[in-house]
Amino acid sequence: MKTEVLTVHSHTREEIIDISSQIQAMVEKLNIRDGLLAVFVPHTTAALTINENADPDVKRDILNKLRSEIPQTDDYYHSEGNSDAHIKSSLLGHSLIVIVENGQLLLGTWQGILFCEFDGPRNRKVFVKPLMA
CATH number (domain holding residue 111):
2.60.120.460
Q: Identify the DSSP state of 3.
A: P
Q: Give me the number of domains the chain comprises.
A: 1
* Count of CA atoms in the C-beta half-sphere (13 A) of 122: 17
Q: How many CB atoms lie within 10 A of CB 119?
A: 22
pLDDT, tens digit, for every residue of 25-68? Answer: 999 999 999 999 999 999 999 999 999 999 999 999 999 999 99
Q: Smallest Cα–Cα separation from 129: which of 35, 37, 25?
A: 37
Question: What is the domain extent for residue 77?
Answer: 4-132
pTM of the model: 0.95
Cα–Cα distance, 3 to 94 (Å, whole number):
16
Single-letter amino acid code for the residue at 3: T
